Structure 1
């Protein structure tokens, strides 16, 4: 297991590969941050006990996706509840196209074989 500053030990990490829509890019930067504060941040706060998010910008290096949203989840149900809330907003497949969802378990190979994780 890795050390974490999260209030929980993640059982699941999900990499959401997303692409900004022309509608999102048509908003001013100020308006984008207003929309994040109005619609996205309340969902993050609601699920903070079981979910943590990190944003990665990849548009500098990729064309299929512009961002990666990395979600650490306390358990599968916490992640499922988060997605249910996100799907009720314009952030899901309107402002951002959800291109691919890649769930994973950190160091599962090592735990499954009762071995130490390989880390740099």
Structure 2
């Protein structure tokens, strides 16, 4: 027997979160920090803003702990279509396979299991 999520959970699609694991290339590392900021501001941000809406990003440095993945870009999109448009936009910029190598994409929705089984999400809270 297949269980379904409650009706109210089905009506509101959860945001899509993508963990984009990337590795810097020699071309990116040859730039000064100012050139990197300018490249991101003039080459990536306008492309993403022109192609999609409802997308937010956060960036994490991991090169201190990993040689395979130097950065993790966390993208949150309002839905799967916005995420698809985001990836299409990024692939049109030098960031995709020129400044960074995309090592892996991990895409999911937060607490998807809870919606699937109609249960409360289990999480830890510390203060």
> Which residue in the other structure is 2:30 paired with?
26
- Check whether the contact 2:48–2:90 (CA below 8 A) recurs between aligned residues: no
Counterpart secondary structure, 1:52: strand
Q: TM-score scaled by structure 1? A: 0.86
Match of 2:91 among 60, 77, 87: 87
Larger Rg: 2
- Check whether the contact 2:55–2:82 (CA below 8 A) recurs between aligned residues: yes
| Cα distance change, pair 88–47 in 1 and its aligned pair in 2 (3 A) | closer
Q: What 5-or-longer segments of structure 2 have no aligned partner?
A: 1-12
When the two structures are aligned, how many residues end up with a matched partner?
112
Moved over 4 A (4+): none
Q: TM-score scaled by structure 2? A: 0.82
